[in-house]
Amino acid sequence: MIERHLARLRLRHEISESDVALIRGAIAEVREIPAGRTLVEAGERLRVSTLVLDGLLCRYKDMKDGQRQIAELHVPGDFADLHSYTLKRLDHSILTLTPCRVAVVPHVELARITKASERLAYVYWFSTNLDAAIHREWVLSLGRRNALARMAALFCELQARLQVVALADQTGFALPLNQTQLAECLGLTSVHVNRVLKELRTRDLVTFRGGHVSIRDLAGLQRVAEFDPGYLYLERQPAD
Amino acid sequence: MIERHLARLRLRHEISESDVALIRGAIAEVREIPAGRTLVEAGERLRVSTLVLDGLLCRYKDMKDGQRQIAELHVPGDFADLHSYTLKRLDHSILTLTPCRVAVVPHVELARITKASERLAYVYWFSTNLDAAIHREWVLSLGRRNALARMAALFCELQARLQVVALADQTGFALPLNQTQLAECLGLTSVHVNRVLKELRTRDLVTFRGGHVSIRDLAGLQRVAEFDPGYLYLERQPAD
DNA sequence: CGCACTCTTGATGGTCATCAAGACGGGTGG
DNA sequence: CCACCCGTCTTGATGACCATCAAGAGTGCG
Domain match, A45 and A125 both: yes
Residue A178 lies in a domain: yes
Residue B239 lies in a domain: no
Sheet with B48-54, edge to edge strand ranges: B29-33, B100-106, B48-54
Question: In this model, does residue B240 exceed pLDDT 80?
Answer: no
Q: How confident is the model at residue B212 (pLDDT cuts 50, 70, 90)?
A: very high
Å: A59 CA to C14 C1': 30
Residue B151 lies in a domain: yes
Residue B78 Cα distances to B8, B58, B141, angstroms: 8, 11, 22
Q: Answer yes or no: are the C-beta atoms of A40 and A102 closer than 8 Å.
A: no
Cross-chain residue pair B144–A67, CB shorter than 8 Å: yes
**What CATH number has the domain bearing residue B218?**
1.10.10.10
Cα distance between residue B139 and residue A58, in whole Å: 14
Domain match, B112 and B152 both: no
Q: Between vectors from CA A148 to CA A52 and to CA A172, what angle results, nearest 5°? A: 45
Average pLDDT value over all residues in chain B? 97
Query: For residue A230, which amino acid is it?
Result: G
Mean pLDDT of B208-219: 95
Question: Using the CB atom, is residue B35 less than 7 Å from strand C?
Answer: no
Domain boundary among A113, A137, A161: A137
Cross-chain residue pair A237–B129, CB shorter than 8 Å: no
Query: For residue A204, which amino acid is it?
Result: D
Q: How confident is the model at residue B175 (pLDDT cuts 50, 70, 90)?
A: very high
Residue A130 lies in a domain: yes
Cα distance between residue B9 and residue A202, in whole Å: 53
Domain match, B129 and B84 both: yes
Domain match, B13 and B98 both: yes
Domain match, A55 and A116 both: yes
3-state secondary structure chain A: CCHHHHHHHHHHCCCCHHHHHHHHHHCCEEEEECCCCEEECCCCECCEEEEEEECCEEEEEECCCCCEEEEEEECCCCECCCCHHHHCECCCEEEECCCEEEEEEEHHHHHHHHHHCHHHHHHHHHHHHHHHHHHHHHHHHHHHCCHHHHHHHHHHHHHHHHHHCCCEECCEEECCCCHHHHHHHHCCCHHHHHHHHHHHHHCCCEEEECCEEEECCHHHHHHHHCCCHHHHCCCCCCCC
For chain A, the first-to-last Cα distance in angstroms comes to 30
Question: Using the CB atom, is residue A146 less than 7 Å from strand C?
Answer: no
Domain match, A131 and A180 both: no
Cα distance between residue A51 and residue A111, in whole Å: 16
Q: How confident is the model at residue A211 (pLDDT cuts 50, 70, 90)?
A: very high
Cα distance between residue B167 and residue B53, in whole Å: 12
For the purposes of burial, counting CB atoms within 10 Å of the CB of A64, is it exposed (0-12), middle (13-18) or buried (19 or more)? Answer: exposed
Cα distance between residue A110 and residue A22, in whole Å: 9
| pLDDT given at position A196 | 98
Domain match, B7 and B94 both: yes
Residue B179 lies in a domain: yes
Å: A23 CA to C19 C1': 59
Domain match, A112 and A174 both: no
Per-residue exposure over A140-178, b if at least 16 CB sit within 10 Å of its own CB, e if not: bbbbbbebbbbbbbbbbbbbbbbebbebbeeebbebebe
Instruction: Summarize pLDDT for A85-119 with one digit per residue, the tens.
Output: 999 999 999 999 999 999 999 999 999 999 999 99
Cα distance between residue A132 and residue B128, in whole Å: 8
Q: Answer yes or no: are the C-beta atoms of A129 and B81 closer than 8 Å.
A: no
Mean pLDDT of A191-205: 97
**What CATH number has the domain bearing residue A116?**
2.60.120.10
Question: In this model, does residue A170 exceed pLDDT 80?
Answer: yes
Residue at the smallest CA–C1' distance to nucleotide D17: A146
Cross-chain residue pair A135–B132, CB shorter than 8 Å: yes
Q: Answer yes or no: are the C-beta atoms of A156 and A227 closer than 8 Å.
A: yes
DSSP calls for B100-155: EEEEEEEHHHHHHHHHH-HHHHHHHHHHHHHHHHHHHHHHHHHHH--HHHHHHHHH
| pLDDT given at position A110 | 98
Q: How confident is the model at residue B239 (pLDDT cuts 50, 70, 90)?
A: confident
Domain boundary among A137, A171, A189: A137
Domain match, B155 and B54 both: no
> Cα distance from B40 to chain A (closest Cα, Å)?
15
Residue B238 lies in a domain: no
The number of distinct structural domains making up chain B is 2
Cα distance between residue B124 and residue B177, in whole Å: 28
Q: What is the residue range of A227's domain?
A: 146-232
Cα distance between residue A125 and residue A46, in whole Å: 18
- A146 close contact with B: CB closer than 8 A: no
Mean pLDDT of A202-212: 95
| pLDDT given at position A238 | 84
Closest to A135 (Cβ–Cβ): which among B88, B130, B139?
A: B139
Residue A182 lies in a domain: yes
Domain match, A194 and A100 both: no
Q: Which nucleotides of C are covered by protein (CB under 7 A)?
A: 5-11, 15-20
- B138 close contact with A: CB closer than 8 A: yes
Residue at the smallest CA–C1' distance to nucleotide D9: B194
Q: How confident is the model at residue B238 (pLDDT cuts 50, 70, 90)?
A: confident
SS3 B94: strand
Q: In what helix (H) or strand (E) does residue B212 lie, and over which residues does it extend? A: strand B212-215
For chain B, the first-to-last Cα distance in angstroms comes to 30
Domain boundary among B103, B137, B171: B137
Domain match, A78 and A195 both: no
Residue A60 lies in a domain: yes
Among residues B44, B199, B12, B230, the alpha carbon closest in space to that of B119 is found at B12
Domain match, A61 and A157 both: no
